[in-house]
Chains A and B, each alone.
Chain A
Amino acid sequence: MRVLMFGWEFPPHSSGGLGTACYGLTKGLSNQKIEVVFVLPKANSMPEKTHVKLVVADNFENAKNLNIAKNLKIRKINSLLVPYADSGVYKKRYSSYQQYYRSKGIENTIYSQDLYEEVQRYALLAKEIAKEEPHDIIHCHDWMTYPAGIEAKKGSGTPLVIHVHATEFDRTAGNPNQFIYEIEKKGMEEADHIMSVSQFTKNKIVQHYGISPEKITVVHNAVEFRDKKFHEKINDGEQVVLFLGRITIQKGPDWFLKAAKKVLKIKPNVKFIVAGSGDMEGFIIEKAAEMGIGDKVLFTGFLQGDNVDKIYSMADLYVMPSVSEPFGITPLEAMRNNTPVLISKQSGVSEVLTHALKVDFWDIDQMANKIVSVLNYSSLHNCLQKNGAKEVANFDWNIPASKCVNVYNGVLGAGCWVLED
Chain B
Amino acid sequence: MVSVCFYFQVHQPHRLRNYSVFDISKNHNYFDEKVNEEIIKKVASKCYLPANRLMLELINNHKGKFKISYSITGTALEQFEAHTPKVIESFKALADTGCVEFLNETYYHSLSFLKSKKEFLHQINLHKRKMKSLFNVRPKVFRNTELVFNNELATFIENQGYKGILAEGAEHILGWKSPNFIYMAKTASAKQEVAKIKLLVKNYRLSDDIAFRFSNRQWNEWPLTPTKFADWINQVNGNGDVVNLFMDYETFGEHQWEETGIFDFMRTLPKEILKQKDNEFLTPSDIIKKHDAKDELDFHNFVSWADVERDLSAWLGNDMQKSAFDLLFELEKGVLRTNNLQLIKDWRKLQTSDHFYYMCTKWFGDGDVHKYFNPYESPYDCYIAFMNIINDLRYRVKETL
Binding site for B on A (CB under 8 A): 262, 266, 354-355, 357-358, 365-366, 368-370, 372-373, 376-380, 382-384, 387, 391
Contacts and interface: CB of A to CB of B under 8 A. Distances in A.
A366 B378 contact: no
A358 B384 CA distance: 12
B388 interface: yes
30 contacts: A262-B22, A354-B365, A354-B378, A355-B361, A355-B364, A355-B365, A357-B380, A358-B377, A358-B378, A366-B18, A366-B20, A368-B21, A369-B20, A370-B384, A372-B21, A373-B383, A373-B384, A377-B320, A377-B383, A379-B318, A379-B322, A380-B320, A380-B380, A380-B383, A380-B384, A380-B387, A383-B318, A383-B320, A387-B361, A387-B364
Interface string B292-326: 00000000000000000000000000111011100
Nearest to B23: A369
Contacts of B361: 355, 383, 387
Instruction: Across the A-B interface, give the 6 residue pairs with the lowest CB-CB distance, nearest first.
Output: A379-B319, A379-B323, A369-B20, A354-B365, A373-B384, A372-B21
B101 to A, nearest CB: 41
B22 A266 contact: yes
Given A354-B364, A354-B365, A383 B380 contact: yes
Given A369-B384, A370-B384, A380-B387, A266 B320 contact: no
Main secondary structure of the interface of B (DSSP, over half): helix
Interface of B: 18, 20-22, 318-320, 322-324, 361, 364-365, 377-378, 380-381, 383-384, 387-388
Contacts of B322: 379
Contacts of B21: 266, 368-369, 372-373, 376
B200 to A, nearest CB: 37
> Most chain-B CB neighbours within 10 Å: which of A266, A357, A379?
A379
Nearest to A375: B21
B22 A373 contact: no
A46 to B, nearest CB: 48
Contacts of A377: 320, 323, 383-384, 387
Contact of B380 (A366, A376, A384): A384
Given A266-B21, A365-B20, A372-B21, A391 B365 contact: yes
> Most chain-B CB neighbours within 10 Å: which of A354, A357, A378, A384?
A354
A365 B324 CA distance: 23
B378 A382 contact: no
Contacts of B378: 354, 357-358
Nearest to A354: B365
A262 B22 CA distance: 9
A60 B179 CA distance: 71
Given A379-B383, A383-B320, 10 more contacts: A266-B21, A357-B381, A366-B20, A369-B384, A378-B323, A379-B320, A379-B323, A383-B318, A383-B380, A387-B361
